[in-house]
Amino acid sequence: MDDIRDSPSVNRRDLLKLGAAVVGAGLVGTAAVRAEQDERPFLGPAPAQPFAAPPMGTVRIGFVGVGLQGSSHVRNLLRIPGVQLKAVCDIVPEKVERIQQWVVEAGQPKPTGYTRGDTDFVRLCEQEDLDLVYTATPWEWHVPVLVAAMKNGKHGATEVPAAMTIDECWQMVEGAEQYGKHCIMMENCNYDRPEMMVFNMVRQGLFGEVLHGECGYLHDLRGIKFEDRNEGLWRRAHSMKRNGNIYPTHGLGPVANCMDINRGDRFDYLVSMSGPSRGLQLWAEEHYPEGAEQRREKFVLGDVNVSLIHTMNGRTIFLSHNTNSPRPYSRIHMVQGTRGLFHGYPNRIYIEGRSPEDEWEDPEKYFAEFEHPLWKEIGGSARNAGHGGMDYLEDYRLIKCLREGLPTDMNVYDAAAISAVCELSCRSVASRSVPMSFPDFTRGRWQTWPKLGIVRA
């Protein structure tokens, strides 16, 4: 999600070429993707129970990519008991020095710095005695960092999306199973206060049987994509080469939890279509003078992508992506059951037999009864952290699960299933919305793995 590439010595054109080459190698020829990439029959069965590593008193962490979001996670981790930040990697030395100073100010020894270019994370994974490698790099580096971590005996955690291609999804699954390590996608929106209340209400049966969900990532990123720093140095390149639902996790993660994806149900297939690409071209025309390089850039990402997902149990999910249009932020977050529904942005709720007939209610009145225990117990500590507190809660839960030897809230199979939307949607768009099947990363275990419980601090 975050970047490690805003060094003045790095040429922006070279970065765009690099981004285009990386994503293009995986997705430009979507129609030519080999069928054998979609399955791995030689893996054998997945574990009979969700993976849990032996407990550890202290979680020794190496962090890769300490730009905006990476720095925010570091702040959280330095507040959580049982964490030692031992190493930090970024291609910008000044960023590494800043994090080293934060760690020392927090009363820990100065972490080792790694700044020798894009792949210095490999040296970190090989040389450092760590339990976890956490990455907040540009998207194309997520899986390389995760694989390097697991190969060298470390657990891996990444910002979203975890992977961009089906092959990368399988690399994560294969690595986690081969090396016996956690490989986790850190989806912060799973921990937002309304989403967690809705999940608690689903578990208590308030909405009846959940049959449908609507979600998305609807966020005006035009200004961010054209920045000469941070995500502007790499994110725009994806809009030049990929046309689909390329950032699905924020909306889809909470809905997938409510539908027990990989724990009683799984994604079956999707269809996807995109509209015209206009927003970035218009932005460039309005903000750059005649002759500017930005005006000559060509984009293929449709301003609006809509995808429909069908699950094995017959549920349906509407998933939308729109980062190139003027609009207020929304993840939609709608969960529809046989007895009622929750609909976000703005938040409203209707429960048959409890709400006034045919009238929305303000969900604030439901927090007193259905607030998720995690928010009740540590919400006060989380509120001043990133994104309204949900970033802190996701980091807190990761460390707690590692220290206590528990299965993590989201595992490698969730990371793979949700991230698979990235490539499958591009393939469907390129094929006139032909249905695209999801690989079963669990190899049938979704039918027997236990549902997520209501966790506590």
* pTM of this structure: 0.92
Please report the pLDDT score of residue 422 as a whole number.
Answer: 98
Helix (H) or strand (E) holding 240: helix 235-241
Q: Do 302 and 274 touch, CB atoms closer than 8 A? A: yes
327 pLDDT higher than 60: yes
Domain ranges of the chain: 28-187, 190-375+411-447
User: How confident is the model over 75-92, as pLDDT tens digits?
Assistant: 999 999 999 999 999 999
| pLDDT classification of 20: cutoffs 50, 70, 90 | very low
- Predicted local distance difference test score (pLDDT) of residue 40: 77
Please give the pLDDT value at position 37.
53
Residue 149 to residue 60: CA distance in whole angstroms = 13
Which amino acid would we find at residue 154?
K
CA 153 – CA 314 distance, rounded (Å): 39
Structure tokens at 246: 């390329």
Q: Give the Cβ contact number of residue 133 at 10 Å.
A: 27
- Of 27-36, 179-188, 311-320, which range is least confident? 27-36
Identify the pLDDT of residue 25: 38
The per-residue pLDDT for 36 is 44
- What's residue 41's pLDDT? 64
Q: Which amino acid is at 341?
A: L
For the structural domain made of 28-187, what CATH number should be given?
3.40.50.720
pLDDT at 308 over 90: yes
Q: What is the 3-state secondary structure (H, E, C) of 166-216?
A: HHHHHHHHHHHHHHCCCEEECCHHHHCHHHHHHHHHHHCCCCCCEEEEEEE
Give the confidence band of 33 by pLDDT, cuts at 50, 70, 90.
Answer: very low
Question: For a pLDDT cut of 90, what percent of the chain falls above it?
Answer: 89
- pLDDT reported for residue 437: 98
Whether the predicted pLDDT of 34 surpasses 90: no
List pLDDT tens digits, range 234-280.
999 999 999 999 999 999 999 999 999 999 999 999 999 999 999 99
Q: What is the CA radius of gyration of the chain?
A: 21
Is the pLDDT score of 2 beyond 70? no
The model's pLDDT over 423-444, given as tens digits with 9 standing for 90+, comes to 999 999 999 999 999 999 999 9
Pick the CATH number of 190-375+411-447 from 3.30.1300.10, 3.40.1190.20, 3.40.309.10, 3.30.360.10: 3.30.360.10
Q: Is the pLDDT of residue 16 over 80?
A: no
